């Protein structure tokens, strides 16, 4: 089992930080880019979503290995939604190894900034995890097994997103952070940080 996250990582806040505080702890350091898997519960993706997803994955693959794992929604055609959640939960949990670093995406999860997402990528590489598995649930969300197994649960927004949109937001963030290159976080984000006011808020 991989260890849990550092205390500093847990101290997430939605209050904008001053520019000086907006940095990633791996700035200037090399980090090991662990292979990324995206576990996604759903049926067929819309053509537009698949096109955009493929575009990001192609670019992301220059920086790390990425695997797209689709889990069929309601695999046993359960009539009751709780049974559906359990079936999807079991299917996803069966694909997780003990040395995976598991990131569950959930609108009730921790509110993290991009800097912390970069740190998450670096932490996973430094804790001996062999893979980084991002898990996106089905129409009724994640079941108990996944929630208990998660190394961290993060939100992408305070609003509930359609799972296809959550998938796109995730791959866009991963590509922006370029996992093998998180040490360059400040450079990557320099342009967007320059657009922020001194308090870190948009002018």
Ligand X SMILES: C[S@@+](CC[C@H](N)C(=O)[O-])C[C@H]1O[C@@H](n2cnc3c(N)ncnc32)[C@H](O)[C@@H]1O
Cβ proximity to ligand X, 31 vs 103, nearer residue: 103
Size of the site for ligand X (CB under 6 A): 18
Stretch that binds ligand X, among 21-29, 58-66, 159-167, 182-190 (CB under 6 A): 159-167
| Residues 138 and 74: beta-carbon distance below 8 Å | yes
Q: H-helix or E-strand containing 38?
A: strand 36-42
Q: Which phi-psi region, left, alpha or beta, contains residue 28 (left: φ > 0; alpha: ψ -120 to 50)? A: left
Per the CB < 8 A criterion, the answer to whether 73 and 117 are in contact is no
The residue sitting closest to ligand X, measured at its beta carbon, is: 141
Note whether 155 binds ligand X by CB under 6 A: yes
Q: Which is nearer to ligand X, 122 or 143 (CB)?
A: 143
Residue carrying structure tokens 């009539």: 79
**Spatial separation of the C-alpha atoms in residues 167 and 101, rounded to whole Å:** 18
Q: Does residue 66 bind ligand X (CB under 6 A)?
A: no
Q: Tell me if 137 sits within 8 A of 150, measured CB to CB.
A: no
Nearer to ligand X, 45 or 183 (CB): 45
- Of positions 129, 152, 156, 182, contacts ligand X by CB under 6 A: 156
Which listed range, 17-25, 71-79, 161-169, 193-201, lies at the site for ligand X (CB under 6 A)? 161-169
Among 107, 113, 127, 145, binds ligand X (CB under 6 A): 107
User: What does the DSSP assignment read for 45-113?
Assistant: PPHHHHHHHHHHHHHHTTTS-EEEEEEESSTT--SSHHHHHHHHHHHHHTT--TTEEEEEEEEEEEE--
From residue 128 to residue 147, the character string flagging contacts with ligand X as x (rule: CB under 6 A) and all else as - is --------xx-xxxx-----
**Contact call for residue 172 and ligand X (CB under 6 A):** no
Interface with ligand X (CB under 6 A): 105-107, 136-137, 139-142, 155-157, 159-163, 166
């Amino acid at each position: 089992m991989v260890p849990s996250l550092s205390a500093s990582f847990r101290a997430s806040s939605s209050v904008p930080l001053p520019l000086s505080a907006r940095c990633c702890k791996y700035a200037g350091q090399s980090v090991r880019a662990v292979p990324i898997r995206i576990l996604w519960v759903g049926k067929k993706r819309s053509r537009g979503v698949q096109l955009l997803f493929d575009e990001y994955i192609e670019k992301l693959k220059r920086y790390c290995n990425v695997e797209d794992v689709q889990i069929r929604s309601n695999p046993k055609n359960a009539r009751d939604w709780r049974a559906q959640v359990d079936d999807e939960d079991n299917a996803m949990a069966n694909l997780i190894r003990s040395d995976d670093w598991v990131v569950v995406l959930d609108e009730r999860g921790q509110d993290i900034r991009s800097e912390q997402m970069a740190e998450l990528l670096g932490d996973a590489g430094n804790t001996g995890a062999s893979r980084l598995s991002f898990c996106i649930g089905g129409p009724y969300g994640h079941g108990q097994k996944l929630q208990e197994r998660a190394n961290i649960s993060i939100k992408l927004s305070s609003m509930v997103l359609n799972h296809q949109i959550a998938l796109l937001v995730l791959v866009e963030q991963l590509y922006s952070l370029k996992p093998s290159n998180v040490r360059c976080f400040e450079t990557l984000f320099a342009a967007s940080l320059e657009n922020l006011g001194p308090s870190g808020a948009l002018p």
